[in-house]
Amino acid sequence: MLDLVKNETERIDSRFLEPACGNGNFLAEILRRKLAVVKRMYGRNVADYEKWSIIALMNIYGVELLDDNAIECRNRLYDIWDEAYSNACKNEANDECRKAARFILEKNILCGNALSLKKVDSQGQDTAEPIIFAEWTFVLGNKVKRRDFRLDVLLEENPDKDNYSVQMSLFGDEVFGTENWMIDPEANKPTPKPIREFEPKDYRRIWEDA
């Protein structure tokens, strides 16, 4: 099935979301394919390999209803990444980067209901909290900017720009849905509004913004 989107699975920074990821069968194969490309392109330079292996991990997302499956998925993806990282970087592999990888998976592989787009409790029942994913973007050398978004907003159909602008000018944020959208100043079109933004930080230290 992944061969149907082979080019995307082999693009390091392409984003994948598996809405019922189980223990990670699809995500594990996607990660292996991405890491194979990282090794082929950056395997001769430890610093580049480390950074791009983290980028590969940052762009894999999953939602799973059962907590034990979500934990198993995180551990499975981490083990795949860590084995490749240790083999490529050898003595220069470090625990700071490993801690960052663990943190990324905690934010990217979540326990929730992909139908209701809500987080679930330990019994698998919906809570009132929406599923929230982190977006990771390299902005300055090794620095990463994290922005958190609600999944239900990301999956909404983009509002019409002109209609959105009229609604905002007439009614402000009280109009249903508009509080979750803003006009992108560069593209001049509606885009989801992050619920949180963090200052750029070295990718090995992103776990400090827990």
- Give residue-wise pLDDT tens across range 31-88: 999 999 999 999 999 999 999 999 999 999 999 999 999 999 999 999 999 999 999 9
How many residues comprise the chain?
210
Whether the predicted model's global pTM rises above the 0.85 cut: yes
Distances from the Cα of 135 to the Cα of 84, 176, 198, angstroms: 23, 24, 11
The owner of tokens 């894999």 is 60
Judge contact between 147 and 120, C-beta under 8 A.
no
What whole-number distance in Å separates Cα of residue 122 and Cα of residue 106?
A: 16
pLDDT beneath 70: ranges in the chain: 157-178, 184, 187
In which element (H, E) is residue 84 found? helix 67-89
